[in-house]
Every structure is written in structure tokens, then in C-alpha cells.
Amino acid sequence: MELSENTLFIEDSLSLSNAKSFIEDALILLEGYDQERLEINLDRLGYLDSIGVTALNFLQEKMSDKGLQVNFSGGKEDVRKKMEIFSLHDYSVPPKARKHSFFEKVGDGFDTLVRDYIASFIVLTANVIFWSVSDIFKSKRQRRGEFYNQAVLIGVNAVWIVGALAFIIGLVMALQSSAQLRDFGANIYIVDLTVIAMMSEMGPLITAIVVAGRSGSSIAAEIATMKVTSELDALKTMALQPVRFVVVPKMHGSFITMPFLTIIADIMGILGGMFIAYVSLDISPQVFINRMGDTLYNRDIFIGIIKSLVFAVLIVLTGSFYGLRVKEGAEGVGKVTTTAVVVSIALVMVADSIMGLLFY
């Protein structure tokens, strides 16, 4: 480029590859320019692309900001045409939305919590419980095989992982306790410790955490994807209740299988404790089982099953709630899935504490 009196001649080509250096060079060249008018001549310009056009407009604006009157002149027909088509005469990036004040944010957050979370969760819970109960008596309304599918997905497929984890937890719990019990000569109490802890606390909790991680996430992801891809809208416009069609079979499936999973976890955890009792404290399985008969009450088994049913409801409701709340596309599905798992595990813990206090 060349500056001659009040005319800047642009030469060769101006495109993506040299737009940056062009602007830098031009601004340096025009740094001490003290005239009122500047003409940018395009006669010597061979090739120009749309980014080159933007660079020329950018230079024009920069010089206009300094109070200069800047005009373009000359140029071959194709250059002039490109300047006409690709010029952005009214440049303004739309302003970002106004930032809210602290109090507005607090008020908005509280409103969202009450309306979007608490009220919606209560409505969903009411809907799911109503349809779950009423659909038991209307078997024709249910899709054939769906209860079986959900029971397999949520319950049966989790048997191995729940069993293995419960065995390890029972084993570790007994191992950690055995040293202390041996010191006090209270070896036989390993049975009480293992059985009561597994039946009323650890069994239901381990099962709930595994199911929340496995099935809670998949429920949230499935429902969120269905919402993003308008499948839920399609159900609604086919006069089908999305909650009833999608959530209720999951509720039935988990409600029936969770107690069985919990019982499996209880048994596996006790087996783990029994193994350590035999290896570490010389308590034979026969003695362990005899002592278990004295320790284990129906009440503990019942508490464990009640807990598992509450956890089943919480996990399905939380997964469905967050799945239905998805707002964006693929990213939104990921977000609600993560939130659903975290919240459902937290709710399981809170519910476990409350029931622990109630049944103490």
C-alpha cells in the first residue's frame, strides 16, 4: 500500500491471509496523517474477499473515529461489487442483556426455587403417584411388556453390581471391626454388627446409591432426550399423558425390584461379614447363623424394605423431574443427567437420616 498526499492506494490482494497485517500496516502508515479527508483507492487492488472488505470497512471506521472523512474510490468492477455486497454499513453488535442487581437475583432465585422446583416437583409427584396407583387397576392402559422391560433395566441388570458391592462393604465393615472386637474378647458381636448394619442401613443405602447412579441417570437422560427431540410433544398431541406413558412404567419397575435388590444386598453383605468372621475371628458359619437368629428381628427387615421403597420413589421422581426440565440441546441433557444423579443421592441420604430418626 502507498500513501500519496490524501490518497491511500491499496495494492495486490486483500483477504483472510493478510487482513491482520494490512490493518496494522495501514494504521502505522496513517499515524501522523493530519489532513481532513482520506481517499482509499482500490484501482491497484487485484483480489478482494469478504474478509478483506470487512478489513477495509474497519480501517474506514478507525480513521473516521479520528475525525477524518474517509471515502473509497476506484476499483475494478468485481471489487466494487464485492464492496457493495459484503460491506456492513450499520455495524453494531446487539448489546448483551442487562445485568440484574443482587436483590433482583435473590428474588428471582427464590421465585424459581418455589415455582420451578418445589411446586413443579410436588405436581410431578402427585401426577406420578396418582397414575402409578390408578394404572395398576387399568392394565389395558399400559404398554405391553413395558413393566417387564423397566424391571429388567432398573432391577435385574443391577443384581451383579449391587451384590458385589454389598459383599465388599460387608467384608470391609467386618474386617475393620474385627480387630477392636478381638481386643475386647467380644468376637461374637461381629454378627450383631454386620446383620443390624446391613439389614437396616447399609443394604438399602448401597442399593439406592447404585440404582441412582445407574438408573437415575439413564431415566433423566432418556426423558431429557425425548423432550429435546420433541417425542414428549408428540405423545401429548397424540392425547397421551407423557408422564403416564414414560414415567409410570419406570416407577412400577423400580418399586417392585428395589426391595428384592435390597434383600440381595443384605444377604451378600452378611455373607461378606460371615467370611471375615470365619477367617479372622474363628466364628464358624454355623455359629454365625445361630447368633443371627437371635439378633435379626422382623422389624429390621421391614425397615430396610420400607427404606428401599422410599428410595425407589425418590430416584425415579428425581430422574424424571430433571429429565423433564431440560432446556437446551445435547449440553442440556448432560447437565440434567449429572444434576439428577447428584440430587437423587443427596435426597436418598436425607430421607435415610429422617427414617433413621423415625425408626430408631
Partner 1 sequence: MSPSNIIEVRNLSAGFDGREVLSDVSVDAPEGEITVILGGSGAGKSVLLKHILGLYQPREGSIHILDQDMAKLEEKDQKELYLQMGVFYQNGGLLNSLTVGENVALPLEQHTDLNEELIARIVQTKLQLVNLPGAYHLYPSQLSGGMLKRAALARAIIMDPPILFCDEPGAGLDPISLASLDKLILNLRDQMGMSVVIITHEVSSILRIADRIVFIDRGKIIFQGTLNEALKNNIEQVYQFFEMGRLFPIDDIK
Residues that bind partner 1 (CB under 8 A): 15-16, 19-20, 23, 49-51, 53-55, 57-58, 78, 81-82, 85-88, 91-94, 96-97, 327-332
- Separation of alpha carbons 338 and 318, rounded Å: 11
Number of C-beta neighbours around residue 350 at 10 A:
11
**Closest distance of CB 67 from partner 1, Å:** 20
By CB atoms closer than 10 A (0-12, 13-18, 19+), residue 121 is: middle
- Closest C-alpha among 50, 61, 1 to residue 26: 1
| Residue closer to partner 1, measured from CB, 2 or 78 | 78
| Residue closer to partner 1, measured from CB, 93 or 357 | 93
Contact 132, 251 (CB under 8 A): yes
**35: β partners:** none
| Residue closer to partner 1, measured from CB, 60 or 127 | 60
Contact 54, 88 (CB under 8 A): yes
| Residue closer to partner 1, measured from CB, 40 or 355 | 40
What 8-state DSSP symbol labels residue 142? S
The CA R_g of the chain, rounded to the nearest whole Å, is 35
Q: How far is CA 59 from CA 12, 22, 30, 130, 331, in A?
A: 17, 9, 10, 67, 39
- Separation of alpha carbons 170 and 269, rounded Å: 4
Q: How far is CA 160 from CA 88, 261, 280, in A?
A: 64, 10, 26
**Closest distance of CB 118 from partner 1, Å:** 25
| Residue closer to partner 1, measured from CB, 5 or 90 | 90
**Closest distance of CB 233 from partner 1, Å:** 14
**Closest distance of CB 332 from partner 1, Å:** 7
**Closest distance of CB 252 from partner 1, Å:** 33
Return the SS3 of 108.
Answer: helix
Our measurement of the distance from residue 305's CA atom to the centroid of its chain's CA atoms, rounded to an integer in Å, reads 29
**13: β partners:** 47
The grid coordinates listed for 286 are 454355623
| Residue closer to partner 1, measured from CB, 126 or 330 | 330
Please report the beta strands in 42-180, taking only residues with DSSP state E, as ranges in sequence order: 45-48, 69-73
- Closest C-alpha among 199, 202, 247 to residue 222: 247
| Residue closer to partner 1, measured from CB, 91 or 302 | 91
- Separation of alpha carbons 113 and 48, rounded Å: 55
| Residue closer to partner 1, measured from CB, 329 or 356 | 329
| Residue closer to partner 1, measured from CB, 78 or 282 | 78
| Residue closer to partner 1, measured from CB, 55 or 336 | 55
Q: How does DSSP assign 14-27, residue by residue?
A: ESTTTHHHHHHHHH
